[in-house]
């Protein structure tokens, strides 16, 4: 088990990565909470609980059997109405500020569960036990929690750091291949924006990684988490550096919104968004053609992205509502080479439209 | 205009109290934001906007005309569904992290508006312009924001401090007498828990205060705010001292919940809750009988409290779900004399029931 520490101005907590973590969760929790033995509440998805619930329960002592709350799968449930239902259930079950919420699932469970913990009684402690690759390498780390509005993804939320994150490589065994792949796009992003060694590893070990080789996944998850922990540690609230994590996300979020959060997984939308950002970076001559090709090749090498249809106008409209925008300007993360990222505020609609034309043609094939 | 500064570990901001504040709001805002001139969004109630909207608009420069959002009156609208609607409206109107939200209304507008600002795009700046006495003396100061669940009041929320609070005594002129009175109960609470001079002032100046005499109200609001600012400055997150502000609130919240948030105004429920806490304090022999009489007399002297009907069981049940409870124990704020408050954790159901019996008899008359 490797432990990476996230240290920000407001919090410091460990991210544990490795095999055999859930089977020892009871011990880990005991270390975290000591003699307090808080009441435990688990938020999970029906599918994850069916696969891992028994093992989860077997590691917690009988005196601390958790109450289990469920969030159905799908972005359409990552909404304030679900959070309200869950908060009401917590309240009826007697959860209070000394209780501990465990978000045990993918990114949706983690984001919505973290937000539930952030706003229930103005904040209760929680831990993240991410069960998808995407959640392990990205959403469980950094304290961003939230839910969607109909007008955009994650437009509602809080910064609320977990007490700890437990990323168990074993659970990835039961992850559908498409979801594994979707998570890998965030690791590819980690490589592109800040970790050339991870980028090369992903280039050279495609088959091992896609086959779910535990050692290879351990390496990918650890490096991705370490990159993110470092960035978040330097800029907790996204006033500067942290924005580079949004590489591919401005358009990725717009694509998700325009396709109704149904057609594409988050990571897949981000992959399309990265391809768009690469186009813009290259047409600005920011990005050497050599690097542009390697980046696009790596994204495409990990599998064929699901197609989608959308109009440029709709995408520009949705991109206009992005959280990263400030007083009318459009923040955009571009790349100058592998590991070399830049944030600009002057990307014109026309530039975006040209890049989108290429990407939409590829997406409609 | 008197300015009281709230200084906590995480924020420092002014509370301005006095006449003629709204008519100069443009100037005040300019001082706050300088050259940034953020886009302004006002959240208000239809009634307040009808009374004060014209004056409000006349003080902001044309280049900064605010977009106006409305929250209908009543606790039933202080819910996540309203916050979701308002957030969607903000997003459609293009509000971003550099925008400024102004919560212009009573406690519900302030609490829900502050919470909206806390969670929209994970937090945007806001200011409070409270228009009821209750909001001026209590809810606008201290950074607590939130909405209700069906299972209890303010069970959802965040700590999110405003950039500033503007409490204009003039707006109290248009406040219905019942609401003025409801706010005064929080000032009486301020006197009971920590300010004997304010307590005496309220005893000696009942007629001036109830008649809405501006100088008297200025004194009451300033002292109440100063007391709260001091307490919040010493204990931002309610880990200790700040709990004394909840005097009368454990039962007050329970009464509101059991009567469906309809029968009583918040301040009125708190008044009944204070009478209950006084009964418990006196029957524990914590509170000299002399002081108990003065406290109960002062509460009753300000008008006859609306009656209500409830069962002891329902009230005990609702009190059990209070946010101040910790791992099964019931936190309770008691009084040992005027200005002398204590927090205990061992109030038994039987004690509560005895006190409630007296109060319910009085409330059913």
CB contact under 8 A, B122 and A325: no
Nearest-CB residue to A155 (from B91, B146, B151): B91
B151 in contact with A at a CB cutoff of 8 Å?
A: yes
Say if A92 is an interface residue toward chain B (CB within 8 Å).
Answer: yes
Compute the distance between CA of residue B101 and CA of residue B96 in angstroms, rounded to an integer: 10
Q: Quote the tokens at residue B167.
A: 């409490």
**Are A155 and B97 inside 8 Å of each other by CB?**
no
Name beta bridge partners: B68: B42
Q: What is the pTM of this model?
A: 0.91
Token reading at A195: 């970790």
Is the pLDDT at A324 greater than 80, yes or no?
Answer: no
Q: Could you give the ipTM of this predicted complex?
A: 0.90
Show which of residues 63-82 on chain B sit within 8 Å of chain A, judged by CB atoms: 79-81
A33 in contact with chain B, both atoms CB, cutoff 8 A: no
Distance in Å, alpha carbon of A328 to nearest chain B alpha carbon: 8
Burial class (CB in 10 A: 0-12, 13-18, 19+), B86: buried
Highest mean pLDDT among A22-36, A256-270, B188-202: B188-202
Distance in angstroms (rounded) separating the CA atoms of residues A323 and B94: 10
Average pLDDT score over chain A: 93
Check if B98 contacts A (Cβ < 8 Å): yes
Task: Please indicate if any CB of chain A lies within 8 Å of the CB of B156.
Answer: yes
The predicted-structure confidence for A124-171, as pLDDT tens digits, reads as follows 999 999 999 999 999 899 999 999 998 888 999 999 999 999 999 999
Specify the range with the lowest mean pLDDT, choosing from A81-95, A321-335, B237-251, B296-310: A321-335
Determine contact, residues A173/A103, Cβ cutoff 8 Å. Answer: no
Between chains, do A327 and B121 touch, taking CB under 8 Å as contact? no
* Span A40-58, pLDDT tens digits: 999 999 999 999 999 999 9
Q: Is the pLDDT of residue A328 over 90?
A: no
**A93 at interface of B, judged by CB pairs closer than 8 A:** no
Kindly identify which residue of chain A lies nearest to residue B85, measuring between CA atoms.
A149
pLDDT, position A158: 97
Report pLDDT digits (tens) over B124-175. Answer: 999 999 999 999 999 899 999 999 999 888 999 999 999 999 999 999 999 9
Q: Does A116 touch chain B (CB under 8 A)?
A: no
Nearest to A49 by CA among A64, A34, A70, A65: A70
Q: Cβ separation of A96 and B323 shorter than 8 Å? A: yes
B88 and A39 in contact by Cβ < 8 A? no
Give me the total of CB pairs closer than 8 Å, taking one residue from chain A and one from chain B: 106
Residue B285 sits at the chain A interface (C-beta within 8 Å): no
Taking the Cβ of residue A235 and every Cβ of chain B, the question of whether any pair is shorter than 8 Å is answered with: no
Closest chain A C-alpha to B87 CA, distance in angstroms: 8
Helix (H, G, I), strand (E, B) or coil at B284: coil
Q: Which residue from A minimizes the CA distance to B93?
A: A321
Q: What is the pLDDT of residue A280?
A: 97
Query: Above pLDDT 90, what percent of chain B?
Result: 83
Burial A230-243 (b: 16+ CB within 10 A, else e): ebbbebbebeebbb
Dihedral sign for Cα atoms in the order B136, B141, B145, B149: negative
Mean pLDDT confidence for B71-87:
95
**Is it the case that residue B253 has pLDDT exceeding 70?**
yes
What is the total residue count of chain A? 365
Rounded distance, CA A25 to CA A129, Å? Answer: 10
- With tokens 């001082």, the residue in question is B31
Residues of chain B with C-beta less than 8 angstroms from the C-beta of A323: 96-97, 121-122
pLDDT on residue A301:
96
**Average pLDDT of chain B?**
93
State pLDDT tens for residues B306-336: 999 999 999 998 887 666 666 666 789 999 9
Contacts of A89 in chain B (CB under 8 A): none
Q: Which of B8, B90, B121 to mutate to test the interface with A (most CBs of A within 10 A)?
A: B121
pLDDT for the residue numbered B37:
81
Q: Do residues B265 and B178 make contact, with C-beta atoms less than 8 angstroms apart?
A: yes
Residues of chain A positioned with their CB less than 8 A from the CB of B320: 94
């Amino acid at each position: 088990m490797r432990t990476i520490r996230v240290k920000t101005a407001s919090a410091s907590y460990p991210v544990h990565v490795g095999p055999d973590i859930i089977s020892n969760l009871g011990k880990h929790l005991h270390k975290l909470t000591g003699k307090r033995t808080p009441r435990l509440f688990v938020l999970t998805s029906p599918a994850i609980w069916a696969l891992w619930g028994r093992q989860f329960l077997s590691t917690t002592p009988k005196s601390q059997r958790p109450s289990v709350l469920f969030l159905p799968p799908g972005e359409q449930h990552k909404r304030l109405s679900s959070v309200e239902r869950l908060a009401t259930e917590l309240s009826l079950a007697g959860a209070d500020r000394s209780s501990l919420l465990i978000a045990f699932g993918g990114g949706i469970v983690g984001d919505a569960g973290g937000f539930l913990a952030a706003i229930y009684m103005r904040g209760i402690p929680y831990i993240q036990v991410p069960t998808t690759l995407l959640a392990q390498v990205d959403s469980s780390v950094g304290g961003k929690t939230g839910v969607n509005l109909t007008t955009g993804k994650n437009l509602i939320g809080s910064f609320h750091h977990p007490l700890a994150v437990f990323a168990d490589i074993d659970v990835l065994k039961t992850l559908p291949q498409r979801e594994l792949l979707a998570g890998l796009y965030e690791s590819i992003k980690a490589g592109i924006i800040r970790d050339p060694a991870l980028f090369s590893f992903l280039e050279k070990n495609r088959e091992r990684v896609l086959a779910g080789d535990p050692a290879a996944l351990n390496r990918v998850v650890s490096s991705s988490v370490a990159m993110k922990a470092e960035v978040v540690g330097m800029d907790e609230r996204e006033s500067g550096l942290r924005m580079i994590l949004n590489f591919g996300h401005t358009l990725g979020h717009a694509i998700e919104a325009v396709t109704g959060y149904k057609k594409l997984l988050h990571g897949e939308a981000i992959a399309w968004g990265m391809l768009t950002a690469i186009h813009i970076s290259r047409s600005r001559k920011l990005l050497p053609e050599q690097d542009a090709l390697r980046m696009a090749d790596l994204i495409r090498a990990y599998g064929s992205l699901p197609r989608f249809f959308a109009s440029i106008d709709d995408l520009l409209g949705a991109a206009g509502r992005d959280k990263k925008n400030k007083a009318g300007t459009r923040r955009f993360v571009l790349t100058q080479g592998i590991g070399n990222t830049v944030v600009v505020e002057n990307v014109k609609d026309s530039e975006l439209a040209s890049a989108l034309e290429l990407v939409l043609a590829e997406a409609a094939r």
